[in-house]
Structure 1
Amino acid sequence: MFFVDTLKIEGLGNRSYLVGGSLAAVVIDPPRDIDQVIATAARRGVRIAYVAETHVHNDYVTGGLELARVTGARYLVPAGASVLFARTPVADGDSVAVDAGLVLRTMATPGHTPHHTSYLLEEDGRAVAAFTGGSLLIGSVGRPDLVEPRLTERLARAQHASAHRLADELDDDVQVLPTHGFGSFCSSSQAEGDATTIGAERKNNDALTKDVDTFVAELLTGLDDVPAYYAHMGPANAVGPAPVDLTPPRSADADEIASRLAAGEWVVDLRNRVAFAEGHVAGSFNFEGEGKLATYLAWLIPWGKPVTLLAATPEDIAAAQRELARVGIDRPAAAATGEAQTWIGEGERLASFRRARFADLADTRERGEKVVVLDVRRDAERADGFVNGSVHIPIHELHGRLGEMPDGEVWVHCAGGMRAAIAASLLDAVGREVVAVDDTFTAAGEAGLPLTRPAGTD
């Protein structure tokens, strides 16, 4: 009898898997912080015999090399991957015995990367689960444009072929267990639901329901922006990541926080956007610890810039530190916890800005007040409709384009409020008068704001 334990890496939108039998197991695409993987195996009472990578990852730093070193497991990496460390290269059709009656077989599924490999778990000779990494996802496939622009169309066609190979060789009831698709920008679109099978994908996945030319054309048209930090993930994984250090960062007092801000370093406030708007250290930026912290902080921060973290509790700092380590931001320069007032000098005042709804923006416009409306959603989101007269600068471009903002009070919005809070903090830090619209974009039309929508939509 086999088991599959899913390790959800929520902030990055990925999954890792521990799969095995009564004595031994294999880990598929482990996260950087391997302690949770080891703890899961310990609870199962199994030995980690193998660690397997489906590909050299573009969206996070793997813990595979360190996990294999710590546990003594064999490290399975696709033979076509160009890496600089010792591993067990695997090619199409290779197999390893995991436990009694359990075999892990490799299947070449290029597309997300040229060397991408899926792993099929076979019980007593029959495939029961497919660990598809960035190949066949829930209702989608991994994006093919992260390796080399000149290879994008070729890899998109390979994705179609790989999806069909999986569907052709596996039974309908085989579980499909991908790494990407749960919020990761490595996916060409996001999953609906947490579970699927080959049979379900055969009916619902565009790669399996559309001809190759139609599929490729639509896939390439729908590709979204690529987070800037992705450029650093592949090289880090190819070299072999160093062990992660999650020991607490040094404590910073008000003087040190002020000094780091004066030096141009980033001071990041992890509190929720409501608390930040009410009072924060002037010049600090708001990236909510409960939001997609790693994705957006790593996307926006100049790579290698020292970062100091501010939060209500040490536990909040520890959680953020863990998440940031997964994308290569290994050691915060310093950290401070407690009440925000303790982060500034005696006699100083916290900065603040207003929050509002789209209905408030509609009222402001009706009164004839001239304000700047800033939309920080991505291009693909704005293409579905936008507030008439709004300025558009995607959040990941805003820090480098602050000088382009028109004069006046800025009302900034996104699709739900989190990115608007980030943008408001960036604008507030440079002295702009800002209002953070903490609302869902659907409320804009309901509030009576005039919208521009694509032709053919209401």
Structure 2
Amino acid sequence: MTHPFTPEILEAVVGFADDHLIPLVDEGLGNSAYLLDLGDGRALAVDAGRDLRALNAAALRRGLRVAFAADTHLHADFLSGAVQLGHDTGAVILASAAGRRAFPHRGLVDGDDVDLGGLTLRALATPGHTDEHLSFLLLDGGQELGVFTGGSLIVNSAARTDLLGAGRAEELARAQYRSLRRLAELPDTTAVWPTHGAGSFCTAPPGTERTTTIRAQKRANPLLAVPDEDTFVSRLTAGLGSHPAYFDRLGELNRRGPAVLTRDPVLPALPPRRVRGLIADGGHVVDVRPAADYAAGHIPGSLSIPLRDQFATWLGWLLPDTAPVAFVTGEDQDPSEIVWQAYKIGYERLAGRLDGGMDAWRADGNPQAATAFLTADRAAGRPYLDVRQEAEFAAGHVPGARHLELGGLAAAAADAPPGAVVACGHGERAMTAASLLERAGRTDVAVLRGGPDDYAAARGLRLVRGTEGTA
């Protein structure tokens, strides 16, 4: 089947997106939500997360009310904001009927059309990332404008197929193969608006482009260039790295529907005695200050997760959601950012934050610990422990390095070399790793201030690739 690819059609599609579509990127999770201006004061939200601050601000700027909230699939990496939008704005929730969601919604099957008032949203069954995955094709009359592909076709790849269990990865990869080829039959001019992008743990490759076109993907996506289904399955499943532990539970939470929030959650101030009591009762303390501040002095046994875009990922990967959490913050850090990052992945047992920070902790007579934070020239002679992801490590690492991914380090603390300097790309994840090791009784480690390039340059070494030169 062929479709015309004329400058006039391309200009119309691009112009529509520029005028009506607002991508909302979560840099930390590597995902995009979309707000579509329907032209009559109403809007469609697609794959909105529970932290609706950016979406609500965009709607307010345009004077829009969200009338429809569509989810392409049962998300594993964030809690959906669709239920909240249904409560706040009366939005009709659009989602796959096969998802058996336990809250009011309009269940769609393949080929169903939704009248948006001049525009039409058509459901396309595209299983693979999940069983019940839908893509949403946006039509203006008979003209295909774009397709919201969620975790099916993404920029130069396709989303992972193992989130329902490793035993189903191949089966779902075969479904993903058929879904991508179905999408590739759309007109070349059709815009592609995926959810997962660079930075996502759903197998999105690195890069800056978050949207694309069918034509561009036919040319650039290696998974659309494979000769057959078996090759597709082999290539897609070979690239499946580790993923955060909380992915295993959010799909079901999204099926049941997140609790509606009637006010913005807050993080109350806790005196030191309350934090001591929380620790004694089995709670956790997370220190969100920059790595250097944590290194200089921290509550013994606390976990260092610096507050940045990736905060939610590491909180959800390294701590269970079954015990209360207190936080240590710096003076210029916004407690609301901690709360929203936690809530968007389903962490709601937030006890509060240490009132007065570490100054108050010390003034109350409590002990503190410190961690050596070394520049590359001072780290020479120590075993080198690299805690980055497998793909990062394979792309270039210090000769003789020991590799243990941060996500699995708590269970492998005994395998860390004695007296190691722990390293990542800059120092944040390495400080998190050191705090995990200290919690396990490994107080002999230090953290590299920098990354493998800095260490190699200081010692006159050449980085190696793959598994070459590993300890």
The answer to whether TM tops 0.5 is yes
Residues 307-346 of structure 1: pairs in structure 2 closer than 5 A: 307-313=325-331, 316-346=334-364
User: How far did residue 123 of structure 1 move?
Assistant: 2.4
CA distance in 2, matches of 1:145, 1:326: 22
- The question of 1:20 aligning with 2:37 is answered yes
CA distance in 1, matches of 2:357, 2:163: 42
Structure 2 equivalent of residue 448 of structure 1: 460
- The question of 1:294 aligning with 2:312 is answered yes
- The question of 1:54 aligning with 2:72 is answered yes
Structure 2 equivalent of residue 368 of structure 1: none
CA distance in 2, matches of 1:196, 1:149: 29
CA distance in 1, matches of 2:237, 2:442: 40
Report if aligned partners of 1:112, 1:143 keep a CA contact under 8 Å in 2: yes
Q: State the secondary structure of the residue aligned to 2:373.
A: strand
Report if aligned partners of 2:76, 2:251 keep a CA contact under 8 Å in 1: yes
Report if aligned partners of 1:312, 1:337 keep a CA contact under 8 Å in 2: no
What is the one-letter code of the residue matched to 2:201? F
For 1:312-331, what per-residue CA distance to the aligned partner results, in whole angstroms no more than 9, with x for missing partners? 24852110110110100024
Structure 2 equivalent of residue 3 of structure 1: 20
- The question of 1:395 aligning with 2:406 is answered yes
User: How far did residue 264 of structure 1 move?
Assistant: 3.2
Going from structure 1 to structure 2, the CA distance change for 1:445 and 1:186 (only over 3 Å counts) comes to: same
CA distance in 2, matches of 1:357, 1:214: 45
Residues 34-49 of structure 1: pairs in structure 2 closer than 5 A: 34-49=52-67
2:438 to 428, 433, 437: 428
User: How far did residue 347 of structure 1 move?
Assistant: 4.4
2:211 to 195, 209, 225: 195
User: How far did residue 155 of structure 1 move?
Assistant: 1.6
Q: State the secondary structure of the residue aligned to 2:33.
A: strand
Report if aligned partners of 1:76, 1:88 keep a CA contact under 8 Å in 2: yes
2:154 to 134, 137, 140: 137
Structure 2 equivalent of residue 228 of structure 1: 245
Going from structure 1 to structure 2, the CA distance change for 1:260 and 1:144 (only over 3 Å counts) comes to: same
CA distance in 2, matches of 1:123, 1:346: 66
Going from structure 1 to structure 2, the CA distance change for 1:17 and 1:453 (only over 3 Å counts) comes to: closer
- The question of 1:415 aligning with 2:425 is answered yes
2:225 to 209, 223, 232: 209
Let me know the Cα RMSD of the aligned residues.
2.4
**Percent identity at matched positions?**
35
4+ runs of 1 displaced by more than 6 Å?
none
CA distance in 2, matches of 1:235, 1:440: 38
For 1:251-310, what per-residue CA distance to the aligned partner results, in whole angstroms no more than 9, with x for missing partners? 111222223233332111111112211222222221011141111111011331211012
Report if aligned partners of 1:249, 1:331 keep a CA contact under 8 Å in 2: no
Which stretch has the larger CA shift, 286-295 or 158-167? 158-167
CA distance in 2, matches of 1:331, 1:456: 44
For 1:86-111, what per-residue CA distance to the aligned partner results, in whole angstroms no more than 9, with x for missing partners? 21111122112223x32212211111
User: How far did residue 231 of structure 1 move?
Assistant: 1.1
For 1:224-245, what per-residue CA distance to the aligned partner results, in whole angstroms no more than 9, with x for missing partners? 0021111110110111111246
Going from structure 1 to structure 2, the CA distance change for 1:449 and 1:246 (only over 3 Å counts) comes to: farther
- The question of 1:358 aligning with 2:358 is answered no
2:187 to 167, 170, 178: 170
User: How far did residue 378 of structure 1 move?
Assistant: 2.9
CA distance in 2, matches of 1:197, 1:22: 23
What is the one-letter code of the residue matched to 1:46? L
Which stretches in structure 2 are left out of the alignment for 5+ residues? 1-15
CA distance in 1, matches of 2:358, 2:172: 49
CA distance in 2, matches of 1:192, 1:291: 16
Report if aligned partners of 2:197, 2:210 keep a CA contact under 8 Å in 1: no
CA distance in 2, matches of 1:309, 1:339: 9
CA distance in 1, matches of 2:424, 2:396: 12
User: How far did residue 196 of structure 1 move?
Assistant: 1.8
Report if aligned partners of 1:261, 1:283 keep a CA contact under 8 Å in 2: no
Report if aligned partners of 2:193, 2:210 keep a CA contact under 8 Å in 1: no
1:439 to 423, 441, 450: 450
Q: What TM-score, normalized by structure 1, do the two folds share?
A: 0.90
Report if aligned partners of 2:95, 2:108 keep a CA contact under 8 Å in 1: yes
For 1:156-179, what per-residue CA distance to the aligned partner results, in whole angstroms no more than 9, with x for missing partners? 1222222222121222x3221111
Report if aligned partners of 2:322, 2:349 keep a CA contact under 8 Å in 1: no
Q: What TM-score, normalized by structure 2, do the two folds share?
A: 0.88
CA distance in 1, matches of 2:95, 2:101: 9
User: How far did residue 360 of structure 1 move?
Assistant: 3.2
1:382 to 383, 390, 393: 393
Q: State the secondary structure of the residue aligned to 1:11.
A: coil
- The question of 1:179 aligning with 2:195 is answered yes
